[in-house]
């Protein structure tokens, strides 16, 4: 035997009133749009890891003073300091401090200074003979003296080959082996260059002066005379001395004076 289906549920009888104190619905109508304007963007959020832990923003890189010092000394020619600071500056640049370009520039400038130094030394070596006979010889050789500054009693280690082209001579103590000894000096009066004839007249004083200085040297056939005298060019540089020098082919020690 079958049972009849249960009766269905209908709607509840009636409707419930609204609860007390409720707000009425807003009135119908169009509301004005929000005012226009440029608003600043929100501040950036700090970095965070996947688990939500916040990290502060990274610190800005510091100044690479090693690179700066390398560049400065590279400009001034301080090769050693520039090279050391340059390599340290490159290492600091790899660590994020920047300055790589300045460090490289300092190293390049140092290399250029080295090349310039090598070139100068090569030129000096190649022109050693010319420099030794020039007016700059005393700069490179402490024993070289300007030919116009040779004085009475000085001794020369070597005798120049041409008196008219001598700018400097090498002096030594007369107790050391030498080939020349200054025994007489004549000073030509200031003024315009007197000319070669007048200079020759001053040179003629050297022979009697040697006889007064050392009669034995005057009679010795191995003793000769060499004269340094001003030329038109050296006269412009202040050369006023006619210098008489007793010479020997074989180096000797001591003075010729008796």
CA dihedral 218, 224, 228, 232 (to 10 degrees): 110
CB-neighbour burial class of residue 229 (10 A; exposed 0-12, middle 13-18, buried 19+): buried
What DSSP assignment string belongs to 13-24?
SS-PPPPTTPPP
For residue 31, being part of any structural domain is answered with: no
Domain co-membership, 90 together with 169: no
Domain co-membership, 125 together with 147: no
For residue 232, being part of any structural domain is answered with: yes
For residue 3, being part of any structural domain is answered with: no
Q: Which domain holds residue 233?
A: 143-252
Q: What is the pLDDT of residue 92?
A: 87
For residue 1, being part of any structural domain is answered with: no
Structure tokens at 48: 């965070």
Residue labelled with tokens 């006269």: 235
Last residue of one domain, picked from the residues 132, 153, 182: 132
Name residue 248's beta-bridge partners: 223
Q: What is the pLDDT of residue 237?
A: 85
Domain co-membership, 245 together with 171: yes
Residue by residue, pLDDT tens for the chain (258 residues) are: 456 656 655 555 555 566 666 566 666 666 666 666 666 666 665 555 555 555 566 666 667 889 899 999 999 989 999 999 999 989 888 888 888 889 999 999 999 999 999 998 888 778 766 665 555 555 556 667 777 788 898 999 988 877 667 777 888 999 999 999 999 999 999 999 999 899 989 999 999 999 999 999 999 999 999 999 988 888 998 889 999 999 999 999 999 886
- CA 250 to CA 255: how far, in whole Å? 14
């Amino acid at each position: 035997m079958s049972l009849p289906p249960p009766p269905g549920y209908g709607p509840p009888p009636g409707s419930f009133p609204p609860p007390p104190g409720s707000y009425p619905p807003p009135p119908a109508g169009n509301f004005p749009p929000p005012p226009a304007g440029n608003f600043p963007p929100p501040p950036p959020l700090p970095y965070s890891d996947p688990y939500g832990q916040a990290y502060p923003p990274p610190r800005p890189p510091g100044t690479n003073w090693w690179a700066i010092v390398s560049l400065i000394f590279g400009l001034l020619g301080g090769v050693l300091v520039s090279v050391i600071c340059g390599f340290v500056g490159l290492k600091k640049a790899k660590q994020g401090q920047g300055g790589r370009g300045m460090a490289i520039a300092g190293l390049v400038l140092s290399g250029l200074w080295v090349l310039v130094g090598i070139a100068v030394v090569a030129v000096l070596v190649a022109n050693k003979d010319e420099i030794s006979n020039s007016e700059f010889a005393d700069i490179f050789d402490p024993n070289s003296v300007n030919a116009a500054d040779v004085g009475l009693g000085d001794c020369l280690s070597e005798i120049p080959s041409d008196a008219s082209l001598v700018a400097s001579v090498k002096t030594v103590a007369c107790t050391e082996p030498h080939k020349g000894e200054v025994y007489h000096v004549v000073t030509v009066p200031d003024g315009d260059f007197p000319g070669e004839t007048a200079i020759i007249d001053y040179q003629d004083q050297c022979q009697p002066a040697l006889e007064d200085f050392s009669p034995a040297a005057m009679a010795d056939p191995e003793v000769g005379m060499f004269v340094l005298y001003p030329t038109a060019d050296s006269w412009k540089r202040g050369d006023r001395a006619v210098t008489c020098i007793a010479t020997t082919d074989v180096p000797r020690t001591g003075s010729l004076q008796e």
